[in-house]
Structure 1
Amino acid sequence: MTVKRLLGAVGIDRFGLFHKRQQLLWLIPVLLLLCGGQARALTVVGLHSAELEVAQLETEPTPQQTLDGLAQVLVKLSGRRDVASSEGYRGILEQAPMLLSQYRFRPKENGALLELKYDAPALDRLLSEAGIRGPGTQRPAVLLWLAVDDSGRLDYAPPDHPALLALERRARQRGLPLQQPLLDLQDQVALPPQALRELSDAAVREASARYRPDAILMGWVFAEGGVWHSRFNLLAQGESRTLAPDGDLAAQMAEAADSAADLLLLGGAPRQAFSYRPRGLVLDIEGVDSQSAYLQLISLLRGTEGVSAVFPERFSQGRLQLRVQLETSVARLQQTLELEPRLQEIPQFGSAQPGDTGLLQYRWSGLGEAAQ
């Protein structure tokens, strides 16, 4: 699935001032690639951002646009399409102007795209106070197999097919990460498009094993009498659910994505069933202010003796938070990192010994970046 960059190299804050946003630009695709390749669940970025199609470029968003963008974000954060019925929802919307931290207009054919970003700490605090809970940033990965039968020709949906675009769009609006199969020779042999028309659970499970998804959404879209129809099977939680959405093509794809999101992001009580947060020591590192610094740091930690896995969790204003899984002791890791001149440990306060709290704090000096 194509990942849109939510903010350009230059952004505008709510006061109309220009600011460089290159840190966010390079980090978004890097995080997705790193997390998608190591864990079954995916870390979803951009949950505090929204996109609106607008008629033309403007100098600043209107109050209604700021409100609409926040409403979009609340759906993503909560995972609920009916979040508007929650107590406290209106009170959060009323603070939309205060919560807006950045915006950017981008020209596009027949209009413009307005990209909005809202203050994550303030918004998360308001959601917590309102009792609105969500599934978190790590969410179940859904592998999508989609075939299209158009005028008797059955094949996998091409990247620009309206059905695929509509499915991806609605999944993004719900904060549900969709993965596309490679559709290489191995996939084509294991799962020909005909198997999707037959909605063969066994065949799709076998073909999907190489991707290790949390859930599988398989479907086929076909034209009959000039009208689009679709059928889907959702394989999740050890069950198979058949979906037969109604409406026009866009509505059918939205309903398929919504059905998957309702099950996987909410899943009944308790609401946090799909909060995939890996365990491990947390490293909080300041001074990570460039792509070069980020890549050097990740490479360093993954090559450190005793480190079995590194999961990026959060990045904000040059501060990167990682969760590190160890095959050694915290004390041994600290001793190893003491030998790295680019990392300077920040001592903990009080009587706690380093590592007792499950958190280590460092400052990245950036030494050696200029040489690369």
Structure 2
Amino acid sequence: MVVPFPDFIKPEGVKKILQVFCCLACLCPQFVYAIKVPGLYEAETIVNSQSNEGRPAAIRACLGMVLVKLTGTRDVSAESALEPILDQAERFVQQYRYQEIQAEIPALYGPDPAPRWRLAVKFDEENLNNSLRDSGIPVWDKERPSILVWLALERSTRRLFAEAGREPELLAIVQEVAQRRGVSILFPLYDLDDRVKIQPGDVWLGFHEQIMAASARYRADAVLTASVSAPVPGIWEGRWRSYGKDGLKYEWTTETDLLELALEEGFDGFVDALAYEFVHSGSYTQLGDIEITVGAVNSVDQYARLLNYLDFLSSVSRIHVKEVRAGEVTLALAAHGGEQAVVQTINLGRVLEPVESPDGHYYLLNP
């Protein structure tokens, strides 16, 4: 995307800055923000060889994984509108590579097993986004809600939080689903601060005030709680609740014969609700215009950071600088989904702070 610079700014003075945050790697959880999710256009699968014959099917499978993340649709094979895009999977490939998978246990007798390979594929973002929108399929923006997950379990009549030191395999299941669906999650530290403010029973009974008080330090956009138990052997029941700034948003239950499936279905249901809210509830394939004014832009670096941020948003297709005044920039944006898409995504992030103004959409650029 080409963005014009005002006359007083020299292009060579612009520094492009892009920071991608990973919730699970964050060492300062009190500063968790909306996440610019990495790897949305990448996927990998296991193949038996590097032959040309098997590559198209493997690339198609990888594109299917990417479309799950881009569209918010859990089962892309059931969407007839996606079939033509899947059928042209190789057209969207930007690069691919093979990596041999070493056998964990060498063969004791006879020849070693045939080698297997991991095929990693990266797809062209602009080409794929344009094809999806041309087909009337909305694309979920790269900036997505940060999610804090409180997971409580009942074992032998005791209710406990699923902590990394005690239930790492269960947290890994939730993390795997989050990665497959293209969202990033954070688990609480369960340190002294958390234990003073919240107990597993608060999650079980849905005590909103305690949950939100304990969650405040993490500054997540969404809070998800789950209480999972087996009232009878072989039946796992889960009660899931999600909270936003205004309190309880969604509540649902799951019932399966395996604990792992209960976690997968519950978290999948949550991402389904997020996708409906941020993708499918509006006309995100239609191109519309919105004008915004941004204050606290007082240097070349701040101007560049503002343009880089807007350029990063998948919904924004064109940026036009209309006016530059002392400390302020007015921009006209062309965006898929128009005003709704842009306002929703900007309000989700922390780069621009909305300010009430009678003159329209006014924001301050945060430091």
Normalising to structure 1: TM-score of the pair? 0.60
Distance 2:307 2:218 in 1: 19
Aligned equivalents of 2:153, 2:32: Cα separation in 1: 30
In structure 2, distance between residues paired with 1:332 and 1:241: 44
Cα deviation digits, residues 267-319 of structure 1 (max 9, x gap): 263265xxxx9x777xxxxxxxxxxxxxxxxxx947x9x9899858649xxxx
Mapping for residues 288-327 of structure 1, pairs under 5 Å? 301=301, 311=309, 314=312
Contact 1:134–1:271 (Cα < 8 Å) also in 2: no
Q: Which amino acid aligns with 1:249?
A: L
Equivalent residues, number: 279
1:235 and 2:243 correspond: yes
Range with greater deviation from structure 2 (118-127 or 217-226): 217-226
Separation in structure 2 between the aligned mates of residue 203 and residue 109 of structure 1, nearest angstrom: 48
Q: 2:40 aligns with which of 19, 25, 47?
A: 47
| TM alignment of 1:15-30, pairs within 5 A | 28=20
Shift of 1:207: 1.0
Q: Provide the secondary structure at the position in 2 that maps to 1:64.
A: helix
Deviation at 1:40, TM superposition (A): 4.1
Please say if 1:198 is aligned against 2:208: no
Q: Determine if the alignment matches structure 1 residue 139 to structure 2 residue 144.
A: yes
Letter in 1 for 2:253: A
Pair 1:264-2:274 in alignment: yes
Seen in structure 2, the aligned counterparts of structure 1 residues 55 and 234 have a Cα distance that, compared at 3 Å, is: same
Contact 1:199 1:232 in 2 (8 A): no
Query: Structure 2 residue aligned with 1:175, among 173, 176, 182?
Result: 182
Asked if the contact 2:47–2:117 (Cα under 8 Å) also holds between the matched residues in 1, the reply is yes
CA-to-aligned-CA distance 1:148-178 (integer Å, 9 cap, x gap): 3334554322336333222222222222332
Quick one: structure 1 residues 30 and 227, their matched pair in 2 at CA, closer, same or farther if it must change by over 3 Å? closer
Aligned residue for 2:86? 93
Unaligned runs of 5+ in 2: 1-17, 105-115, 285-289, 295-299, 314-318, 334-367
Residues 50 and 98 in structure 2, CA contact (< 8 A), matched pair in contact too: yes
The CA deviation string for residues 80-130 of structure 1, in whole angstroms up to 9 with x for no partner, is: 225445453111111111212223344377666443211111101101110
- The residue aligned with 2:347 is none
* Structure 1 unmatched ranges of 5 or more: 1-25, 282-299, 316-322, 324-328, 335-353, 359-372
| Whole-angstrom distance in 2 between the partners of 1:57 and 1:145 | 42
Alignment RMSD: 4.3
Give % identity: 27
Distance 1:113 1:182, change over 3 A: farther
Structure 2 residue 80 is matched with structure 1 residue 75: no
Secondary structure in structure 2 of the residue aligned to 1:244: strand
SS in 2 for 1:213: coil
* Amino acid aligned to 2:81: G
* 2:262 equivalent among 242, 245, 252: 252
- State the SS of the aligned residue for 1:135: coil
Aligned partners of 1:109 and 1:189: how far apart in 2?
47
* In structure 2, distance between residues paired with 1:186 and 1:122: 47
Structure 2 counterpart of 1:72, one-letter code: M
Residue 156 (structure 1) aligned to one of 130, 154, 161: 161
Distance 1:250 1:280 in 2: 48
The amino acid across from 1:270 in the alignment is G
Residue identity matched to 1:78: T
Pair 1:117-2:127 in alignment: no
Change (3 A) 1:108 1:28: farther
CA distance in 2, matches of 1:250, 1:55: 26
What is the alpha-carbon distance in structure 2 between the residues aligned to residue 333 and residue 213 of structure 1? 30
Q: Which whole-Å CA distance do the structure 2 matches of 1:91 and 1:308 have between them?
A: 37
SS of the residue corresponding to residue 240 of structure 2 reads: strand
Deviation of 1:181 after TM superposition, in Å, equals: 2.1
Instruction: Give the structure-2-normalised TM-score.
Output: 0.61
Higher relative contact order (CA 8 A, sep 6+): 2
AA partner of residue 136 (structure 2): G
Letter in 1 for 2:84: G
State how far apart, in whole Å, the 2-side matches of 1:176 and 1:194 are. Answer: 27
Question: What residue in structure 1 maps to residue 220 of structure 2?
Answer: 213
Any conservation in 1 of the 2:132–2:139 contact (CA below 8 Å)? no
- Name which of 56, 71, 74 aligns with 1:63: 56
Q: Is the 8 A contact 1:301 1:310 kept in 2?
A: no
**Rounded Cα–Cα distance in structure 2 between residues aligned with 1:88 and 1:245:** 29
In the other structure, the counterpart of 1:284 is none
